[in-house]
Structures are given as structure tokens and as C-alpha cells.
Chains A and B, each alone.
Chain A
Amino acid sequence: MKLSDLSLPELNRQLRQGFYFRTGAFVVNVKSAIPAVANGLSLMYADYPLADRAFADFHVTLTKPHHWRRYFRPQVFFRFEGTSPFSPLPLSQAFPMLEWGMNWCISSNAHSYLMIHAAVLEKNGRAAILAAPPGSGKSTLCAALMLRGWRLLSDELTLVRLTDGRIEPVPRPVSLKNASIAVIRDFDPLAIFSPVVRDTVKGTVAHLKPSSESVQRAVETATAAWIIFPQYVKESATVAVPVSAGRAMMRTADNSFNYGLLGQQGFAAMAALVSRCNCIDFRYSALNEAVQYFDHLPVPDPA
């Protein structure tokens, strides 16, 4: 059963008691009576499979406070197992907060993976990891690639299995910020967005619905073939420059959630990952050109 099989009132009813769905390797139970959460889920997660209520990896709740901030400039709290890891946000940010909160649950727990703060997409069985600090146009490029047929594995969390180095998908809506929202609307007028939320810590935020194919194939792992460090530079030509393995490793480690925590295992996994990839510094301004370049990425030599 998929989320789209539920009517909005039924989804709302389930959310009050705990709504169980699967995203990649994780089952999440969301409990919330906030309408924006139900609306966001029904719009963004329509293709997601529902999960059995017996077990969830993460039980999260989004609630309004019981005090005066319920009415005056209302707030929303994110809770996970009796703790609230974040400061409350304005109620209008309830859906983005659910997204950030679920990312946090995975990135602070799932240590059977080397976790990299990077987007990752797949075509013909090979995955491209887009690793870059916020503001470099990583999500914009990720969204464009997904809209042109790349399978989205994740927009934020690249999960490299420690056992065999394969990448496990956690497809989720792509988080777009500020100017990139309009850029992607222009790029594909049929793209489906969640309502735009202003004045978040990241500025204006909207989420882009993941392609149905990405969600349906969420159990198919992929082999990493490229690590790309994208950077949007205004009016720049499309430029790709190879990066040495050592440098690429340090830069990817900087963008990892648990590289240090995994110790030697993390080092070994990161080294193996980098050595099987072509690593590229990538500057772009024209999205169409950038996407075309990705269709002709140089395939790494078999090691």
C-alpha cells in the first residue's frame, strides 16, 4: 500500500496515532496533529510505501506547545524518544522541520554506514556523489539531474555501507533554497513543490517531490563511480577539473557525519570509496549544460 492510497482525512487520522512509512532502509513513525505535516506528506510522499505498525526505526512527533506560544506566534516542537534535539521553530516551518528532524535521526544513529553530507544520484548502476558545503548549488544540480532521469538516492545523506562499500538509497524530497526554487520551477514547470516557507535558518525553503522511479527503486543499491564537488559560479562556463584522490578524501571526510566516529573503519571505507571514484571539481552556471555534462561523465577504470 502506498501513501496515495489514503485519503487526506484518513492520513490525518493515522498521523494522530502514528503514521508508519518506509524510506529506503528506514521505517519512520510520525505522530502529529499539525495540518501542514499531513499536507506536506500527502503531496511529497504520495509514492512511498506504508509500513507495518509493529516496528519503526525512528519514532518522531511534531507538536504545538501547550503554553501561550500555541496561540501567539505559534511554534512547533520536534521530539525524538523523549528528547527534543532542536529549538522550536515557527509553526509554518513544521514540514521542513520534519524533514530536517528525520535527517538528524538517521545521521546521528545509523553508524553501519559511512555517512556523507552529500547528494547522490544513479544512472546505469553507477552513482555520482555531489559533495559540497551549503550554498554551492548542490541541491539545485541534484534536482535538475533527477528531473532529467537520474535516479535520486538522496539529496542530503549518502549512505556508504561499511560491509561492501555499496550505496544505499534514502530517497526523500529535495530541499531547495532561495533563488534555486525559481530556477528549478523554470527548469521543469511540471515539477511538484511543497508550499514555500520563508524566514527559516536557511532562508526561503521549498521541497521538490522525488521522482516516482526513485521511490519505487529505493531498495536498489548502487556502486559509487564519481565524487563531484559542484560549485555554482555566476556566468561561469561549465568547467570540470580532476581532483587527486588524497585531496578528494580529505574534502569528503570534512563533509562526513561520522568519519571520525568510525575510526579506522571510517578511514578504510572512505579510502576505498575515493579510490573507486573519479573525483572532479565542477563549476557551472547553465543547468542544461551541466546536466549534459553529467550524461558523459568519464567512467572510472576498474581497479
Chain B
Amino acid sequence: MRKTGLIVAAFRHPQALPDWDLQKWDVLLRQLRQAGMTASLYARLDGLGLLSSIPEQAARHLAWAAQLARRHKQSVLYEVGFIRNALNRAGVPVVLLKGAAYVLAGLPASEGRIFSDIDILVPAESLNLVESELMIHGWHSTHHDVYDQRYYRSWMHELPPMTHATRGTVIDVHHAILPVTARLHPDSAKLLKAAVPAGGFATVLTLGPADMVLHSALHLFYNSEFDHGFRDLVDIHTLLQHFSGLPGFWSGITARAQDLELTRPLFYALRYTTLFLNTVVPPAVMIKADAGRPNVALLALMDSLFEPALQPDSPDHVNLIAVAARFALYLRGNWLRMPPLLLMRHLFQKAVISNRKPVEKTQCDI
């Protein structure tokens, strides 16, 4: 593999971090901040008992970020409590996905992870009920544009994001883990059936271990955005490390991937976590995972795109190869989500018709 950034080296081999000099830490901290992974590294070093072995000037930045992450975790637990109450009467179990699931299940992948939305999965037939219950409890739909409403409701696998009127929190309600229009169709009923209770609640669940990894892989490798690609890759690595101690996890995951038609995302997940992060995967599992291996030409192409796109950005230099790879993956991500004609229409709509409001910034006032 080509030269990797310091941040990759830090997560690949955190044991070596006490040997890093201050100058290296300076660059690493900047990369971490940009990737939103400072608190994750804090958790990693804390787990290894190495926090006191790194330069004090750097350790303090990690601790600052960890403080913020602790607060974030609390707010996630608090918000999940509201969601649980809102959906209690409807009798619909809430299956949390991604970040919120990691927090509720107390997984190491949640350590130091900051995210903005809470994603939940509910049965397709409960979708209307869930939407109206959430509205009664103060959440409202944010995308009022007619095209956006149609985009979400007819073609996507989720409702338009809903924001809570007073708390300002955002929830994404999914009925599947891929759009209706996508090439792959992992069966949501199977996912819901295998979900497991989390956080000590009977009605709050997360996906089962294998499904959680497969969803995480799908989310990274079948997405159109790679701005946080490396962070998501570290998530998968951390999940794999954590679950590898579970009896039957490794033998189950390849079979489960077949069952859910997710052999390709699993192949990519194992390929790139081992490549970037030296994740320990049993050789037999690597062989079985070859069921999802693309042909030689396609794999060479995907390597040439994923490798640069998964590299975190550097604070001082724009990597043009990474920019180009991410753009190609953006097109691919959309290509995988929709049939060609629909995709053309969607991209035209987004590029030309939808007049997006600029992001609001704060005035400086201190």
C-alpha cells in the first residue's frame, strides 16, 4: 500500500504512540481534529493504559475531546429515552442503527464518536404509525420541498429526516438499510428478527453482531460520501475486534452475508480493514469471504478508488487523487442506489433545480 497518513499509523499501531515526538503529535492532532477522531484515539490509548506515556501537550487535547464525547454520549442516551417513550404506545420496538446503537450497546466503537443524527429501523408496515407518533411527540419533517418528499417516500429506505421542535435533535426513520431502488435488497424482516435488546430496555434494540458489522460495511462501501471514510473503517475494525471474542461470530458472519446478499460489502470490509488497520481475521474467514470478491479488473479498479478515498485528509495539502477518487465513488454510490434513468433525473434535480441554501455560520462575537 502507498504511503499512509500519520492518523492511519496511529490507529494501526497505537502501542507505538508513546515513541512519537512532539512534532509528529502536532500533525497527528491536526489530522485527528479534521477527521473528528480525537476522542476515539483518547479511548484507544485509555484502553491500552498509555495516556500518561504520551507528551503532556498532546494528551491534553485528547482529554478535551474526550470531555466533549462524554457529554455527547449522555445526550444520546437522553434522546433515546424520548424516542422510546414516544413509540411506547404504538408498541413498535425501536431498533437503533450505527452510532446510537454503539452507544446503547456500550460497544468500544462508541468511544469518542460524535454524530449528529439518531438512526432507527422499524418494520415497513409500521412506518406511518411511527411517523405520526413521532409527530405527536414533537418531531417534524424538515424537507418540505415536493421533490425531496417524493425522493424519500417513493425511492429511499427512510422518511425525510425529522427534527424535534424544542430540542432540535434529528431522527432518521428507516424501514430498510438500502434504498428501495438499490441493486441489493437485504431483507429487513430478517434483520429485525435477529435484533437484540440493548441498554437494559426491552423495547430498545440493536442489530445482532454480524448484522451490525454487515450494515456498517454496507454503509461505508455502498455510500456516495467518503468524507468520513476512515472513521467508518475504524468503526468496522473496532466492531470486528470486539465481536471476534463471541463464540460463533466468525463462522456466522460469512453465512449471514450470503443470506442477506451482502457478500460483496463483507469482502470489502475485511479487505480494507486488514489492509489499513491490520485487523486480525481468521484465514478461513478470509477464504470464505472470497464469495464476495469482484473479478480481477473490477477489484483493481475498486482498490484504486477506495485506497485514496479512505485516507483521511491532511490539514495542509489537498490530495487531488483522493478528491478524484471520492468524486468517482460519489457517482458509483448513486449508481448503486438507483437505476440509470432515475439517477440522471436525481442528479439533474440536485445540480440544477434544487437551490440549496448556504450553510449558516456564526458571527464571531467573543
From A157, which residue of chain B is reached at the shortest CB distance? B366
**B74 partner residues in chain A, CB cutoff 8 A:** 263
Query: Which stretch of A4-12, A109-117, A212-220 is in the interface?
Result: A109-117
Asked if B286 CB lies within 8 Å of chain A CBs, one says no
Asked if B63 CB lies within 8 Å of chain A CBs, one says yes
Taken together as a complex, chains A and B put the C-alpha atoms of A56 and B27 apart, in Å, by 10
Q: Are A81 and B315 in contact (CB under 8 A)?
A: yes
Asked if A288 CB lies within 8 Å of chain B CBs, one says no
> What would 9 more interface pairs be, CB under 8 Å, given A84-B361, A86-B362, A263-B70?
A54-B22, A55-B55, A57-B57, A85-B364, A87-B362, A103-B366, A112-B64, A112-B67, A117-B366
Q: Are B366 and A100 in contact (CB under 8 A)?
A: yes
**B63 partner residues in chain A, CB cutoff 8 A:** 111-112
Taken together as a complex, chains A and B put the C-alpha atoms of A52 and B78 apart, in Å, by 44
**Min CB gap A266→B, angstroms:** 10
A86-124: which residues lie under 8 A (CB-CB) from chain B? Answer: 86-87, 89, 97, 100-101, 103-104, 107, 109-112, 117
Asked if B190 CB lies within 8 Å of chain A CBs, one says no
Q: Which label, helix, strand, loop or mixed, suits the secondary structure of the A interface?
A: loop
Give the residue of A54, A81, A86, A117 whose beta carbon is less than 8 angstroms from that of B364.
A86
Q: Are A85 and B361 in contact (CB under 8 A)?
A: yes
**Min CB gap A214→B, angstroms:** 20
Asked if A59 CB lies within 8 Å of chain B CBs, one says yes
From B21, which residue of chain A is reached at the shortest CB distance? A54
**Min CB gap B43→A, angstroms:** 16
**B57 partner residues in chain A, CB cutoff 8 A:** 27, 55, 57
Asked if B26 CB lies within 8 Å of chain A CBs, one says yes
Give the residue of A59, A100, A109, A112 whose beta carbon is less than 8 angstroms from that of B365.
A100
**A117 partner residues in chain B, CB cutoff 8 A:** 366
**Interface size class, chain A:** 20 to 34
Chain B interface residues toward A at CB < 8 A: 21-23, 25-26, 30, 33-34, 55, 57-58, 60-61, 63-64, 67-68, 70-71, 74, 313, 315, 361-366
Give the residue of B33, B67, B70, B362 whose beta carbon is less than 8 angstroms from that of A85.
B362
Pairs A–B under 8 Å by Cβ, sample size 22: A54-B21, A54-B26, A55-B26, A78-B364, A81-B315, A82-B34, A82-B313, A85-B361, A86-B364, A87-B361, A87-B362, A103-B366, A104-B364, A111-B63, A111-B68, A112-B60, A156-B366, A201-B364, A202-B365, A260-B71, A261-B68, A261-B71
Q: Which label, helix, strand, loop or mixed, suits the secondary structure of the B interface?
A: helix
Question: Tally of A-B residue pairs with Cβ under 8 A?
Answer: 72
C-beta contact mask, A243-272 vs B, less than 8 Å → 1, else 0?
Answer: 000000000000000001111000000000
**B33 partner residues in chain A, CB cutoff 8 A:** 81
**Min CB gap B136→A, angstroms:** 28
From B25, which residue of chain A is reached at the shortest CB distance? A55
Q: Are A55 and B364 in contact (CB under 8 A)?
A: no
Q: Are A263 and B361 in contact (CB under 8 A)?
A: no
**B26 partner residues in chain A, CB cutoff 8 A:** 54-56
Taken together as a complex, chains A and B put the C-alpha atoms of A101 and B22 apart, in Å, by 24
Taken together as a complex, chains A and B put the C-alpha atoms of A156 and B366 apart, in Å, by 8
**Min CB gap A120→B, angstroms:** 15
**B364 partner residues in chain A, CB cutoff 8 A:** 78, 85-86, 89, 97, 100-101, 104, 201
**Min CB gap B231→A, angstroms:** 15
From A111, which residue of chain B is reached at the shortest CB distance? B67
Q: Are A86 and B60 in contact (CB under 8 A)?
A: no
**A82 partner residues in chain B, CB cutoff 8 A:** 34, 313, 315
**Min CB gap B29→A, angstroms:** 9
Taken together as a complex, chains A and B put the C-alpha atoms of A296 and B23 apart, in Å, by 48
Taken together as a complex, chains A and B put the C-alpha atoms of A100 and B70 apart, in Å, by 27
Q: Are B366 and A104 in contact (CB under 8 A)?
A: yes
**B25 partner residues in chain A, CB cutoff 8 A:** 55
**B71 partner residues in chain A, CB cutoff 8 A:** 260-263
**B58 partner residues in chain A, CB cutoff 8 A:** 55
**A59 partner residues in chain B, CB cutoff 8 A:** 30, 315
Taken together as a complex, chains A and B put the C-alpha atoms of A188 and B178 apart, in Å, by 69
From A25, which residue of chain B is reached at the shortest CB distance? B60
**Min CB gap A274→B, angstroms:** 21
**Min CB gap A58→B, angstroms:** 10
Taken together as a complex, chains A and B put the C-alpha atoms of A27 and B58 apart, in Å, by 12
Taken together as a complex, chains A and B put the C-alpha atoms of A35 and B64 apart, in Å, by 34
From B57, which residue of chain A is reached at the shortest CB distance? A55
**Min CB gap B205→A, angstroms:** 27
Taken together as a complex, chains A and B put the C-alpha atoms of A101 and B58 apart, in Å, by 21
Q: Are A55 and B366 in contact (CB under 8 A)?
A: no
**A104 partner residues in chain B, CB cutoff 8 A:** 364, 366
Interface centre among A78, A82, A100 (most CB of B within 10 A): A82
**B366 partner residues in chain A, CB cutoff 8 A:** 100, 103-104, 107, 117, 156
Taken together as a complex, chains A and B put the C-alpha atoms of A84 and B163 apart, in Å, by 26
Taken together as a complex, chains A and B put the C-alpha atoms of A202 and B30 apart, in Å, by 31
**A112 partner residues in chain B, CB cutoff 8 A:** 60, 63-64, 67
